[in-house]
Amino acid sequence: MKNDIKVVIIGGGIGGAATALALQKKGIQAHLYEQASALTEIGAGIVLHSPAVDLLYKWEVGNVLEEVGIPIKTMEVYTEQGQFVSSLDLLTNGAQKELEATVYLDESDSTSKLKQRFIHRAHLLDMLLSPLSSEYIHLNHKCESIFEYEDYVEIHFTNGEIVQADAVIAANGIHSNTRKMFSEDEPIYSGLHAIRMVLTREATKHIAKENSTVTYQDAKTHALALITHVKDGTAIDTTFLTEDPSWILELEKEDILSQIGHFDEGFVRLFDEIEYPIKSRALYYRKPIDRWSTKRITLLGDAAHAMMPSLGQGANSAIQDAGAIANAFSNFNTVAEALQHYENERRPITTAIQNGSSDYKKFVFVK
Ligand SMILES: Cc1cc2nc3c(=O)[nH]c(=O)nc-3n(C[C@H](O)[C@H](O)[C@H](O)COP(=O)(O)OP(=O)(O)OC[C@H]3O[C@@H](n4cnc5c(N)ncnc54)[C@H](O)[C@@H]3O)c2cc1C
């Protein structure tokens, strides 16, 4: 396809930013429209797995990843009381062959062989956005509606602006209004809320481990805590069951202790370090749908396949969607062919991950 096609991306989260970068690397300058007045990511960190890491190197931001991403060597699991359950060594298990095949990392340092990296979400978003020119990023643009014609699409924003393009990629998250073109489904409440925070390394030195994720899990209440170093700090993700489906809850310390007060004292102590009230976010997900694309409009990232974080694949999948759609745009002659190919490649994979991750209770270890 010619590089001068006009592509509009709706949404400047990890999926939209990755797509803008992937297209730029193929010589296509996409315009990214975000409803918010700034591009930021809240919350703590995420694990980037090999396929997403490979793409980041391909998009020439691997050097930044090495600066801000922490290599993960082991994944340790404990009961909520701190009894050891299991430890997965990523250098000695099945992952090793794949890791040894990595050619771009320093052979003299064993941790440099590790592809899996834990990264603060804000650092990941910055990494994806920094190679993009500001003239292609449009803040304060909330997409209201999209009209599709034979030869073009017209995007209407709530600020009154109207933009025409050859193709629209809607990366506008779990609440995507574009998804309504394909399904009337609503997000499903999982029964869980998540608190995400970053503390200093000093405050977490008794519990966090170098190059390792540390997870505490309560098989009875499904409460879970994930503790991992990020650059200049330690990310702590805590999830707990509650019947309250509000998207955001404001919690006092006693609310939190009623959920995780029975956890290992070293973990509970972390909640002395923060200011109250603190917000928790409800975990919602969606079921897979049969179609994402028309001839000129498609969905990407959470807009297409919002999933539970139990397999740690939401952002990873959005990054891989970005790689797939950029390849499709450069390999096919028409927008319709490219979008269909992208959907055919990605939808079966993300459907399997969505189905697996919605069975999240089975990932809680039984004592
Ligand atoms: C607790 C938790 C832990 C997680 N852990 C992991 C993990 O370890 N690994 C992993 O891979 N994933 C993880 N995820 C999932 C991951 O965060 C998401 O899948 C990913 O961030 C989705 O990115 P996105 O760009 O598709 O959507 P979003 O990040 O939701 O971005 C959508 C953007 O679109 C904008 N927008 C929305 N509507 C409009 C509109 N109409 N017009 C213009 N802009 C609009 C929004 O403002 C937003 O900026 C986790 C999620 C949670 C909640």
Examine residue 59 and state whether it is found in any structural domain, yes or no: no
Cα–ligand 1 centroid distance for 309 (angstroms): 11
Are 144 and 273 contained in the same domain? no
Q: Which pLDDT belongs to residue 50?
A: 86
* 120 DSSP assignment: E
Q: Which pLDDT belongs to residue 113?
A: 54
Burial call 124-133: b when 16+ CB within 10 Å, e when fewer: bbbbbbeebe
Q: 267, 285, 303 — which closes off a domain? A: 285
Please give the mean pLDDT across all residues of the chain: 90
Closest CA to 317 of 357, 264, 363, 360: 357
Domain harbouring 293, CATH code: 3.50.50.60
- Which residue's CA is the closest to the ligand 1 atom numbered 15? 314
Examine residue 56 and state whether it is found in any structural domain, yes or no: no
Terminus-to-terminus CA distance in the chain, angstroms?
55
Are 269 and 204 contained in the same domain? yes
Contact criterion met (CB below 8 Å) for 224 and 218: yes
- Which residue's CA is the closest to the ligand 1 atom numbered 35? 11
Pairing of strands 70-71, 117-120: antiparallel
Examine residue 49 and state whether it is found in any structural domain, yes or no: no
Are 26 and 138 contained in the same domain? yes
**Position 306, amino acid:** A
**What is the torsional sign of CA 111, 115, 116, 119?**
positive
- As for how many domains the chain has, the answer is 2
Q: 240, 262, 285 — which closes off a domain? A: 285
Q: How many CB atoms neighbour CB 179 within 10 A?
A: 22
Measured CA to CA in angstroms, residue 72 lies from 22, 30, 209, 242 at distances of: 25, 33, 10, 31
- Asked if residue 183 has pLDDT above 50, the reply is yes
Please state the atom number of ligand 1 nearest to the C-alpha of residue 281.
Answer: 53
Does ligand 1 have an atom closer than 6 angstroms to the CB of 163?
no
Q: 224, 253, 285 — which closes off a domain? A: 285
- Which residue's CA is the closest to the ligand 1 atom numbered 17? 315
Contact criterion met (CB below 8 Å) for 193 and 248: no
Q: How far is CA 125 from the centre of its chain?
A: 10
Are 132 and 145 contained in the same domain? yes
Q: Which domain holds residue 34?
A: 7-41+122-186+287-363
Are 139 and 155 contained in the same domain? yes
Where does the chain have alpha helices with state H? 14-25, 50-58, 62-68, 95-100, 121-129, 253-260, 265-268, 302-305, 314-331, 335-358
Residue 225 phi, psi (nearest 5): -135, 130
Examine residue 34 and state whether it is found in any structural domain, yes or no: yes
Are 291 and 164 contained in the same domain? yes
- Asked if residue 26 has pLDDT above 70, the reply is yes
- Asked if residue 224 has pLDDT above 50, the reply is yes
Q: 36-50, 62-76, 100-114, 282-296 — which one is most confidently predicted on average? A: 282-296
Does ligand 1 have an atom closer than 6 angstroms to the CB of 197?
no
* Region 175-199 average pLDDT: 96
Contact criterion met (CB below 8 Å) for 166 and 298: no
Examine residue 60 and state whether it is found in any structural domain, yes or no: no
- Asked if residue 161 has pLDDT above 50, the reply is yes
Does ligand 1 have an atom closer than 6 angstroms to the CB of 45?
no
Whole-number percent of the chain with pLDDT over 70: 92
- Asked if residue 364 has pLDDT above 80, the reply is no
Are 36 and 140 contained in the same domain? yes
- Which residue's CA is the closest to the ligand 1 atom numbered 27? 173
* Region 249-268 average pLDDT: 95
Are 305 and 333 contained in the same domain? yes
Examine residue 137 and state whether it is found in any structural domain, yes or no: yes
Inter-helix orientation angle 314-331/14-25, to 10°? 30
Q: How confident is the model at residue 361 (pLDDT cuts 50, 70, 90)?
A: low
* Region 22-35 average pLDDT: 96
Whole-number percent of the chain with pLDDT over 90: 80
Examine residue 78 and state whether it is found in any structural domain, yes or no: yes
**Of 174-188, 331-345, 347-361, minimum mean pLDDT range:** 347-361
Are 236 and 303 contained in the same domain? no
Please state the atom number of ligand 1 nearest to the C-alpha of residue 307.
Answer: 19
What distance in Å separates the CA atoms of residue 165 and residue 153, rounded to the nearest whole number? 5
pLDDT tens per residue across span 5-18? 999 999 999 999 99
What distance in Å separates the CA atoms of residue 102 and residue 96, rounded to the nearest whole number? 10
Please state the atom number of ligand 1 nearest to the C-alpha of residue 16.
Answer: 25
Examine residue 198 and state whether it is found in any structural domain, yes or no: yes
Are 151 and 234 contained in the same domain? no
Are 340 and 294 contained in the same domain? yes
Please state the atom number of ligand 1 nearest to the C-alpha of residue 144.
Answer: 41
Domain harbouring 198, CATH code: 3.30.9.30
Are 218 and 271 contained in the same domain? yes
Residue 144 phi, psi (nearest 5): -100, -45
- Asked if residue 103 has pLDDT above 80, the reply is no
What distance in Å separates the CA atoms of residue 116 and residue 48, rounded to the nearest whole number? 6
